[in-house]
């Protein structure tokens, strides 16, 4: 996940890993979809995958099942963070 790209962006080895990382981004941040990165792309510079906020949202990111997963895991993550304080 380190950046070996001249863009300075985090690199992911394949599209599936990048998409899962994008979903995890929304789980761990209370950001609404479309107010941050919304898709992934293959970089011609490093031949790996990065997030982008310039394209349309990835269909996998906004489908009903993934949206439900983000909300459920976001709640669980929020509780984990609260319990870490004690």
| pTM reported for the whole predicted model | 0.85
Q: What is the average pLDDT across 58-67?
A: 94
Domain membership of residue 10 (yes or no) is no
Domain count, the chain: 1
Domain membership of residue 49 (yes or no) is yes
Domain membership of residue 74 (yes or no) is yes
Domain membership of residue 28 (yes or no) is yes
Q: Which domain holds residue 55?
A: 15-84
Q: Can you tell me the distance from the alpha carbon of 41 to that of 68, in angstroms, rounded to the nearest whole number? A: 24
Q: Is the pLDDT of residue 2 over 70?
A: no
- Three-state DSSP string of the chain: CCCCCCCCCCCECCHHHHHHHHHHHHHHCCCCCCCCCCEEEECCCCCCEEEECCCCCCHHHHCHHHHHHHHHHHHHHHHHHHHHCC
Domain membership of residue 51 (yes or no) is yes
Q: What is the pLDDT of residues 15-61, one digit of tens each?
A: 999 999 999 999 998 888 778 899 999 999 999 999 999 889 999 99
Specify the pLDDT at position 55.
86
């Amino acid at each position: 996940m380190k950046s070996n790209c001249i863009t300075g962006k985090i690199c992911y080895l394949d599209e599936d890993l990048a998409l899962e990382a994008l979903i995890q981004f929304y789980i761990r941040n209370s950001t609404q979809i479309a107010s941050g990165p919304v898709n992934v792309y293959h970089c011609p510079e490093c031949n790996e995958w990065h997030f982008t906020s310039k394209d349309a949202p990835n269909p996998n990111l906004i489908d009903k099942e993934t949206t439900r997963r983000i909300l459920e895991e976001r709640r669980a993550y929020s509780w984990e963070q609260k319990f870490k304080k004690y």
